[in-house]
Amino acid sequence: MKLIVNLKIFLLSLISRTSLIVKLYSLDKSLYYVWGMKRSGYRLIKKINKSKLIYLEDGFIHSYGIKKSKIPLSICFDKSGIYYNYNSASRLFNLINSKLRKDNYLRARRIIKLWKEFSISKYNFPNFISPPSQKYILLIDQTFGDLSIYYGGANRDSFSKMFHFAIENWPDHKIVIKVHPDVIKSKKTGYLDKTYYYKENIIVISELGQINKLIEFSTAVCVVTSQVGFEALIYQKEVHTFGNTFYSGLGLTIDHGIAKERNKKQDTTLEQLVFGSLVRYQKYLDPRNKKICEIEKIIEFINSRRKIDKFFPNNLYCLNLTPWKARQIHRYTKDLTGIKVSAFRKYRQGMQNVLSWGKSIYSDNNLYKTKTSISVEDGFIRSVGLGADLFSPMSLVFDKKGIHYDYSKPSDLEDLLQNRVVNDEELYRANQLIQNIKIKNISKYNLKTERLLFQKKQSPKQKIIIVLGQVETDNSIVYGVPNNTIKKTNYSLVCKVREDYPNDYIIYKPHPDLENGLRAKGFEENHIKNIADLIAYKTSITELFEISNRVAVFTSLGGFEALIRNIPVTCYGWPFYSGWGLTEDKVSSKLINKRRTRKLSLGELVYMAIIEYPYYFSLKFNCITEVEDIIDEIYLNRNEKKSIEQIIFRYWGTYKDFLKRTIF
């Protein structure tokens, strides 16, 4: 298997970057593509019909993360030239000067707002570079040999001119020189003479990080041909250019190196510039689903990735993980730095930030010793196949306050449900998601099962109540059902439902892990047939929802799935979705009544529990993604084929349950 994977990686490395971009961006393969003004394209340009030639270049939003991606988030697609060649007929020049309809103007304003709100740049990072506390002018150096210098009518002298202009015109300011990211990460050099670094009032910033705050708090920004000048215009900064750029000569910048022969309008608005360059001139590729998208999706992607990076602290140690669980955690954190993921690591004195799977006495004992403790569990739309069968989770939840199934203390999810305000746009998304879940019959495990062979009720007036069984040793039962309320067994649950609803038709659905022999049954499980009217073996939960009038649970996620389908739910424990006015809650708790004081709509509950709280991972595209993409992936790929590892460890859960009962 490892040999095959390595072979695939090797074969992919043989494919040119341009070919990969043409393929992923679904570009017309009958055309010829050259990469900007690179020499490699000269011979091709001379040979072929110009109508068949397309100029490509990295887009104005290139990537997210420390590693520079081979496939950019956006590309420039140009039939007439390339934007940084001021002597070309690049279509960008015309796009920028085009008048905007009202809807396009408003969209440009929204993009400007989003750009600043979510701190977007060409290269995007999890960390922000802190600006100096003194007044300063920001100077942008560039990578030596950057083609935009030559084709922008500039040279090394242009950088020298820029530096001395800043020194002479702002003697009371610090001069901040920002080195290009490629210079920081490689052996490349910049254009600004390094002797400038040691002059009075000079601050050199060579760290890798987000540049937005440097722009925002500067007095002015000076560039030769760098895109940072364009980004500074978005922040309405005074921008000085010392070369010919796509955004200079428009009346928006103060130009010191502009070519006299350039014939551009002088009254172009910022909205025209933003819409022409960021909307019309770019093509965007969403890395979460490899679909062509609009700029707003890319901004959303960068914001979501940055939120993930911000959530996890540096020097985070993952504790007590099996090799399989360690691999799952690694999937979700592989692009982050400062996280130590390995199997069987134990807590050691001095560890300040720790992560552990679920909840246990051992992990609880270490909480008070640490600065940050994160619990991780399976998400609510998990996989195509059971977790106990070692099907990889397509969603996980990471929680710093507790974990959602432990009613005795707050969790990040409960905090969201109690305090988070869901706006109209988010509510619309949640309602669309609810419809999608119902249409595609999405549940936690999305198992392939037989349809229910339903027996006739004794009376047509009888209501059907579905009682959802759980694994009795599972933490959601142990920590989700208050002690001294009801015995924590499926048999006791069915008996209680029969007591509360004596005249109704009760169908008991065993948990899939029990049916498949992956976890141990309770000692009284076999007696349930004497209480329930029907036991729904090997039956899809979504099929049962179609005939049910009510669903009864301890804490089963199936109760949440029933709410999504507008089915009344009775809870005999305290799952995360109870206590908000959407369920009938049969057990009392002063703790819950004190903490959960808000009444929620179904849309609000779904937004926070399915969209905001979990993290999603595409097994198809090997990246962090969104719930909508996961639903599509599940819907198109309901495949439960097992690996050798899954077959070998099939009965580990049953053995673990036996140990729990024997020891405790």
Instruction: Taking residues 334-341, report their average pLDDT.
Output: 86
Tokens of 589: 């708790």
Rounded-to-integer distance, Cα 346 and Cα 327, Å: 17
**Residue 263 pLDDT greater than 60, yes or no:** no
Q: Give every strand in the sheet of 202-205, ordered side by side.
A: 202-205, 174-178, 136-140, 220-223, 238-241, 254-255
Burial of 357 (0-12, 13-18, 19+ CB in 10 A): buried
Q: What is the pTM of this model?
A: 0.84
pLDDT (0 to 100) of residue 224: 98
Q: DSSP secondary-structure letter at 457?
A: P
What pLDDT is attached to residue 384?
82
Predicted confidence band at 582 (pLDDT cuts at 50, 70, 90)?
A: very high
103-117, 614-628, 648-662: range with highest mean pLDDT = 103-117
Q: Is 646 a residue whose pLDDT tops 50?
A: no
> What pLDDT is stored for residue 14 in this prediction?
44
> Which string of DSSP letters, residue by residue, matches 307-356?
HHHHHSPSSEEEES--HHHHHHHHHHHTT-SSEE--TTPPP-TT--EEEE
For residue 482, the model assigns a pLDDT of: 95
Rounded mean pLDDT of 150-165?
A: 96
Specify whether the CB–CB gap between 447 and 640 falls below 8 A.
yes
Query: Exposure string (b/e) for 323-342, b if CB count within 10 Å is 16 or more?
Result: eebbebbebbbebbeebebe
pLDDT at 306: 94
Nearest one of 610, 77, 65, 108 to 301, comparing CA atoms: 65
- Tens digits of residue pLDDT in 296-310: 999 999 999 999 999
| Cα 298 from chain centroid (whole Å) | 11
Q: For 524, how many CA atoms within 13 A lie in the half-sphere containing its CB?
A: 14
Residue 438, pLDDT > 50, answer: yes
Is the pLDDT reported for residue 10 higher than 80?
Answer: no
Task: Give the pLDDT confidence score for residue 6 in this predicted structure.
Answer: 46
**Helix%, strand%, coil% for the chain, nearest 5:** 40, 15, 45
Sorted by sequence, the CB contacts under 8 Å of residue 116 that are 6+ apart come out as 212, 216, 234, 235
What's the pLDDT at 69? 79
Task: Tell whether the model's pLDDT for residue 214 goes beyond 90.
Answer: yes
DSSP, residue by residue, 288-319 = TTTEEE-HHHHHHHHHHHHHHHHHSPSSEEEE
- What pLDDT score was predicted for residue 11? 43
Residues 94, 264: Cα–Cα separation, whole Å = 9
Helices (H), 224-282: 228-234, 270-274
Nearest to 223 by CA among 212, 239, 211, 237: 239
Amino acid (1-letter code) at residue 401:
K
What CA–CA distance (Å, rounded) separates 196 from 204? 9
pLDDT recorded at residue 222: 98
Per DSSP, what are the bridge partners of residue 128?
210
Q: Which residues of 60-82 are buried (b: 16+ CB within 10 A; e: fewer)?
A: bbbbbbbeeeeebbbbbbbeebb
The H or E element containing residue 174 is strand 174-178
Report pLDDT digits (tens) over 600-615.
999 999 999 999 999 9
| Pairing of β 372-378 and β 395-399 | antiparallel
637 pLDDT higher than 90:
no
* Sign, CA torsion 516/471/390/551: positive
The two tokens of residue 621 are 């595209």
260: pLDDT strictly greater than 60: no
- Among the listed ranges 178-182, 269-273, 571-575, which one has the minimum average pLDDT value? 178-182
Q: How many Å apart are CA 70 and CA 464, to the nearest integer?
A: 56
pLDDT of residue 67: 77
For the CA atoms of the chain, what is the radius of gyration?
A: 30
CA–CA distance, 293 with 277 (Å, rounded to integer)? 15
Residue 38's contacts (CB-CB under 8 Å, 6 or more residues apart) are 147
**Least reliable range by pLDDT among 445-459, 469-483, 541-555:** 445-459
For the cut 60, the answer to whether the pLDDT of residue 3 exceeds it is no
Mean pLDDT of the chain: 89
Output the pLDDT for position 452: 57
- The confidence score (pLDDT) of residue 45 equals 65
Answer yes or no: is pLDDT of 337 > 90: no
Kind and range of the H or E run holding 19: helix 17-24
The larger pLDDT score, comparing residue 527 to residue 445, is at 527
Name the band, by pLDDT with cuts 50, 70 and 90, for residue 456: low
Q: What percent of the chain has pLDDT above 90? A: 72
HSE toward the beta carbon, residue 10, CA cutoff 13 A: 6
What is the Cα–Cα distance from 401 to 584, expressed in whole angstroms?
26
More confident residue, 4 or 37: 37
Q: Dmax of the chain from CA atoms?
A: 95
Q: Which residue has the tokens 């710093």?
A: 400
Q: How far apart are CA 299 and CA 322, in angstroms?
A: 36
Task: Give percent of the chain above pLDDT 70.
Answer: 87
Q: Is 489 exposed, middle or buried (0-12, 13-18, 19+ CB in 10 A)?
A: buried
Q: Tell me: pLDDT of 202 over 90.
A: yes
